[in-house]
């Protein structure tokens, strides 16, 4: 359980699991917590014949922004999975409000367990979840099990230039992971840095305001909340200056397991 919570905390840029109970409050003003729903929608419609029969698994779905957008836009069946009860409750409420709760459902679960039991989806999405499923090689392997023989994987992550001082994967590293796991790279969509900076600035302002409120309510934990704000800003700086945010659309080869 601690390992799961630790990975969850890292995926939301929290340095300590002690912050987890406060994350719903800190992030209450934000609807999209990872992937941009329109970006995912665009990459799908550009390459996949999506219909009411299409089934989508959205892992680490957060509050369900992507799941709800896809279900509402295409009338397809979407299941969102997240470990945070508050996020899942938010997704369920929004789905009911939009009258799509019959096709857009949400469950609380550790996605490491989800990938062991969910099968035969047309598309699986893992948006900005970091290493919750493990290193990229392990992550792709786990995702492959959830989709059909010709199904699709959407991963929202990042890479660094070859000469980068940041210790992360280069594009060539990712390509090797794809080839090793016998998945085809269908499209690579680079996120615009100016747009990313605007989104980060907006999010940071909202989070900072909520962190200040929590510091007033719990002065003995002020350092914890201030640390989160700093971690968020550091992450934003790295993404904007040293990394290249990207969404990949991959397709499982018919011959692969």
232 three-state secondary structure: helix
pLDDT single digits (tens) 179-203: 999 999 999 999 988 998 999 999 9
DSSP letter string, 121-167: EEEEEEES-TTTT-SHHHHHHHHHTTEEEEEEEEEEEEEB-TT-SS-
CB neighbour class for 156 (10 Å; exposed up to 12, middle 13-18, buried from 19) = buried
The token duo for 195 is: 């747009």
Whether the Cβ atoms of residue 65 and residue 73 lie closer than 8 Å to each other: no
Please state, in angstroms and rounded to a whole number, the distance separating the CA atoms of residues 231 and 135: 22
159 close to 246: Cβ distance less than 8 angstroms: yes
Which tens digits make up the pLDDT trace of 197-211? 999 999 999 999 999
Backbone angles phi, psi at 248, to 5 degrees: -110, 135
Going across the sheet that includes 183-190, the strands are 104-108, 77-82, 55-59, 121-127, 147-159, 244-252, 183-190
The pLDDT of residue 4: 55
The pTM of the full predicted model, rounded to 2 decimals, is 0.92
Give how far the C-alpha of residue 118 lies from the chain's centroid of Cα atoms, to the nearest Å.
Answer: 18
DSSP 20: G
* Least confident stretch, 35-39, 60-64, 104-108: 35-39
């Amino acid at each position: 359980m601690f390992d799961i919570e630790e990975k969850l905390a890292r995926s939301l840029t929290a340095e300590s699991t002690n912050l987890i109970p406060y994350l719903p409050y800190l992030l209450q003003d934000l609807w999209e917590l990872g992937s941009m729903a329109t970006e995912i929608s665009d990459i799908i419609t550009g390459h996949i014949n999506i219909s009411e029969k299409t089934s989508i698994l959205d892992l680490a779905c957060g509050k369900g922004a992507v799941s709800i957008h896809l279900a509402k836009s295409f009338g397809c069946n979407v299941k969102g999975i997240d470990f945070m009860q508050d996020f899942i409750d938010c997704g369920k409420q929004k789905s009911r409000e939009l009258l799509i709760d019959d096709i857009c459902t949400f469950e609380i679960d550790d996605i490491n367990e989800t990938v062991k039991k969910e099968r035969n989806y047309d598309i699986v999405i893992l948006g900005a979840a970091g290493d919750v499923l493990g290193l990229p090689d392990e992550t792709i392997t786990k995702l492959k099990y959830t989709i059909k023989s010709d199904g699709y994987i959407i991963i929202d992550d990042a890479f660094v230039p070859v000469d980068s001082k940041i210790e992360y994967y280069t594009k060539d590293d990712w390509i090797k992971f794809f080839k090793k796991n016998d998945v085809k790279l269908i499209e690579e969509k680079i996120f615009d840095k100016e747009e990313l900076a605007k989104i980060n600035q907006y999010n940071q302002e909202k989070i900072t305001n909520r962190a200040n409120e929590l510091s007033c309510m719990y002065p003995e934990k002020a350092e914890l909340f201030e640390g989160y704000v700093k971690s968020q800003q550091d992450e934003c700086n790295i993404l904007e200056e040293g990394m290249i945010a990207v969404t990949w659309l991959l397709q499982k080869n018919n011959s692969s397991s």
